[in-house]
Amino acid sequence: MLMLTHVSAIINLFIVKYYSEGVDTKNIGRKKKKLKSNREKQYIPRNKSRIMFLKFKKNKMAIIGLVIISILIFTGIFADFIAPQSYREQNLPLKSQSPSSNFWFGTDEFGRCIFSRIVYGARISLKVAIVSTGISVLIGIIIGSISAYYGGFLDQILVVLMDVMWAFPTILLSLIIVAIIGASLNSVIIAIALSYWVQYARLIRGQILSLKNELYIEVTRSLGANDSTILWKHLLPNAIIPVVVAATLGMGSAIVLEATLSFLGMGAQPPMPSWGSMLSNGRTYLFIAPWSAIFPGIATIITVLGFNLLGDGLRDIMDIKIKE
Amino acid sequence: MMIPVFILCSIVIFLILHLVPGNPVDNLLHPGSPLEAREQLIKEFGLDRPIYQQYIIWLANVFKGNLGVSITEQRTVSELLLLKLPNTVVLGVVSFLISFILGIFLGALSAIKQNTIVDYIGMVLALLGVSVPTFWLGLMLMLIFSVNLGWFPISGYGDLKSLVLPAFTLGLAGAGLIARVTRASMLEIAQKDYIAIVRAKGISNSQVIIKHIFRNALIPIITLLGLRLGWIIGGAVTIEIVFNRPGLGRLLANSLFRRDYPVIQGSLLLLIFAVMVGNLIADILYAYADPRIRYN
């Protein structure tokens, strides 16, 4: 089992590391590859954040991701001005209408404008993504860093705890948690946070384990710094970047999980325009009004794609190398 | 180490379901039934005992193969599980195979044709596979192939035709991550010095790719195999609901709605056991693919 833990920790890191394309290597297919012109290499700035910015500008995928997320945030904030209709106003004579110039994405079974509901739904997806990922990263950082830094018996207990949580498939775990605390948007957020923290805890634990024996930590300690200073001011800032990348990708997964839970009837309750619950209704009316299932799904995919592209891009830019 | 974790998992499963407000017998009784009837039911299911006693009795029974009796259906839990298990196993195995064959093929193709149009298309598809909610993919496949084209039945189970759409939904959605890992892993291996040496020896390119690069790139893919099992099981829950297939996932979801504790506990235990066995198999395969790894 120790071996298992070890192996799955490595994979966890591996997935975070290699989840992507963009590894620039020799060509396996042995076809001629264009060489970059020397001109591109001439200007090398000293400032680290400037280098990051230049790398980011070159990474088209990351920029597309950032644009998608910016549009999502913009839509969420200005939903009241963008949406042509209210998300809850029912108009039964106009129920289940196909897309038209009045209703861009058609209407649902209550005659509500699907486009407007999707626009308002952006708020819910954003809230879920940010709050649930925020909570799980926080839990993960606290448990993971304490476990790695203090080691010993405490570490063993926490590792077993993580192993137990790890054995549950995320969707089942969150489904159980929501079933226990009752179906609502807030319980979905809590459930997602409690299902995802383990991956961040494992990541940060691995990072701190590899950093805590570095020379600069020893120097800091010999200068008289106490444990909490070393942990929070010196170790964590150096261990945080992979977590930032994982959290970006994790926001995408959180949105998918929210949609799935809402689809199963465990999420946001009507008339809240969550994309998942719209899909759940759309399933019932799949034959007479397929658009009510198509468009919320496309909105979800584009959003998740945005987070994945940005996460992949950030990883390539930060050039994360995780020690095994 | 596997057995302690399994027992800890069972404690977690047992506890979280019992610390919930709301008694399962309340779902059974009509509103307004006399209190005596309620207490009698509570006694009948042993819910009046202290919680640790309930757990020990339950665990002892689990090891005897007795998972208790369903509260809402007049059947034993093992009967229910055995009834639904084959459907889920078939769905899981077929979609598992689809996702691995497709994922490895797509990933290897993208790696071999790196930085060509094939690679870009492959990776965009893989990225979509990672981003799409499984149930939505299921709905869309259903819309296209059942509603519009009429090739496959919308729901049902038993024959091969009704398996195609659910298995492909789960398989396609799972293939994305596998393709990405395969590609990245192959590109990483291709960079290694020993591949350059093999090439320098004059071995043909296809031999290098198949025997040297692919074989070494398999290791992370195999480890992914164990991890994906849990994902497939989780995905089966939604897919069985989308396609109305009777199976463990739907049983679990329905029991959660009805607070049928014995069934929830039984199916969760079975699923977690499956995940652990999957990880164990991955560990064994891992040693098989990489001769450097030896277990004591």
For residue A192, the chain B residues in CB contact (below 8 A) are none
Q: Which residue of B has its CA nearest to A282?
A: B139
- Token duo for residue B166: 């659910």
Name residue A202's amino acid: R
Residue B150, phi then psi, degrees to nearest 5: 70, 25
Exposure class string for B2-41: b at 16+ Cβ within 10 A, else e? eeebbebbbebbbebbeebeebbbeebeeeeeeeeeeeeb
A171 pLDDT higher than 80: yes
**Cβ distance A110 to A91 under 8 Å?**
yes
Q: Give Cα separations from B62 to B65, B66, B269 (angstroms).
A: 5, 5, 10
Q: A68-72, A238-242, B77-81, B146-150: which has the highest mean pLDDT?
A: A68-72
Summarize the confidence of residues A176-191 as an average pLDDT.
86
Mean pLDDT, chain B, integer: 81
Residue B1 to residue A259, Cβ atoms within 8 A: no
Reduced to 3 states, what is the DSSP secondary structure of residue B100?
helix
**Nearest CB to B135: which of A15, A25, A260?**
A260
**Nearest CB to B220: which of A11, A256, A259?**
A11
Q: Which residue of A has its CA nearest to B206?
A: A29
pLDDT tier at A4, thresholds 50, 70, 90: low
Summarize the confidence of residues B231-251 as an average pLDDT.
84
A102 pLDDT higher than 90: no
pLDDT tier at A41, thresholds 50, 70, 90: low
B24 pLDDT higher than 70: no
Judged by a CB distance cut-off of 8 A, whether residue A322 touches chain B is no
What is the per-residue pLDDT across A9-32, written as a single tens digit (0 to 9) for each? Answer: 555 555 554 444 444 444 555 544
Residue A25 to residue B271, Cβ atoms within 8 A: no
C-alpha dihedral, A281 to B264 to A255 to A140, nearest 10°: 160
Disruptive mutation site among B27, B131, B203, B225 for chain A (greatest number of A CBs within 10 Å): B131
Residue A171 to residue B188, Cβ atoms within 8 A: no
Summarize the confidence of residues B49-61 as an average pLDDT.
81
A273 pLDDT higher than 60: yes
Residue B163's pLDDT is: 81
For residue A309, the chain B residues in CB contact (below 8 A) are 127
pLDDT tier at A141, thresholds 50, 70, 90: very high
Residue B223 to residue A33, Cβ atoms within 8 A: no
pLDDT tier at B102, thresholds 50, 70, 90: very high
Judged by a CB distance cut-off of 8 A, whether residue A45 touches chain B is no
pLDDT tier at A94, thresholds 50, 70, 90: low
Summarize the confidence of residues B197-215 as an average pLDDT.
83
**Cβ distance A273 to A300 under 8 Å?**
no
Summarize the confidence of residues A149-175 as an average pLDDT.
85
Judged by a CB distance cut-off of 8 A, whether residue A300 touches chain B is yes
**Nearest CB to A308: which of B130, B184, B252?**
B130
**Cβ distance B95 to B166 under 8 Å?**
yes
Summarize the confidence of residues A257-272 as an average pLDDT.
83
**Nearest CB to A4: which of B115, B143, B279?**
B279
Quick one: DSSP state of residue B208?
I
- Comparing B13 with A321, the larger pLDDT belongs to B13
Please report the beta strands in chain A, taking only residues with DSSP state E, as ranges in sequence order: none
Name residue A117's amino acid: R
- Token duo for residue A187: 């319980």
**Cβ distance A201 to A161 under 8 Å?**
no
Summarize the confidence of residues A154-158 as an average pLDDT.
89
Q: Which residue of A has its CA nearest to B122?
A: A21
Residue A259 to residue B136, Cβ atoms within 8 A: yes
